[in-house]
Amino acid sequence: MKMNHVGIMVGDMDKAVEFYTKALGLRVVMGNTKVIEERESAIGRMCIAVFGEGFKGFNIAHLVTTGGIGVELFEMKERQERHDVDFKRLGIFHFCLQTDDFEGVIERVREFGGKTRMDIMRYHPEDDSKPAQMIYLEDPFGNLFELYSHTYEETYATDYE
């Protein structure tokens, strides 16, 4: 099984594309595109099935990480304000990106309207041979994501050297 993409609701498509490309280094595959409610196309029927009758349309953009994972941005025409993350609820609450430019990405996140949610943390501060770092961040719309300095396996494997 491979991860293909993650879908993220945003409040301003232009600002979101700027943030995800300039702060995080993703590449645009398909720019800002309007989707309307209609039944003639496969995408139209799929959107009605997912969002329900009367969803009023949305803007969508497709971006990709250097590792080939897609990031699908949605800007709904009718939407509520950002929700507070309820950590007691089931479901996905963040995604994680990995970079070799850990501190540079954090600086760009702030520069392009994102926030840090915590200080940088090392998973194994007692072991200098395991330098993996992480931090929780937010995009300009409050979507949580983690940033890792090392791979998932390097970060968690007990036998990693």
Q: Is 82 part of any domain?
A: no
Residue 153 has pLDDT above 80, yes or no: yes
Q: Which domain holds residue 41?
A: 1-77
Whether 156 and 100 map to the same domain: the answer is: yes
More confident residue, 31 or 83: 31
Contact of 144 with 117, CB cutoff 8 Å = yes
Cα end-to-end span (Å), the chain: 26
Q: Please give the model's pTM, rounded to 2 decimal places.
A: 0.86
Is 30 within the bounds of a domain?
A: yes
Which residue would you say has higher pLDDT here, 152 or 18? 18
pLDDT at 91: 79
* The domain boundary residue, chosen from 49, 77, 105: 77
Residue 44 has pLDDT above 90, yes or no: no
One domain, residues 46 and 72: yes
Q: Which two tokens stand for residue 104?
A: 């540079």
pLDDT for 129 equals 81
Q: What's the whole-number average pLDDT of the chain?
A: 89
Q: Quick one: what percent of the chain has pLDDT higher than 70?
A: 92
Residues 108, 135: one domain?
Answer: yes
Contact 108, 99 (CB under 8 A): no
| pLDDT higher than 70, residue 159 | no
Instruction: Give how many domains the chain has, as a whole number.
Output: 2
The whole-number average pLDDT for the span 38-51 is 87
pLDDT digits (tens, 9 = 90+) for 62-115: 999 999 999 999 998 876 666 666 767 767 889 999 999 999 999 999 999 999
pLDDT at 126: 84
Give residues with Cβ within 8 angstroms of 29, minimum separation 6.
62, 63, 64, 70
Give tens-digit pLDDT for 46-58: 888 988 888 888 9
CATH at 18: 3.10.180.10
Say if 113 falls within a structural domain.
Answer: yes
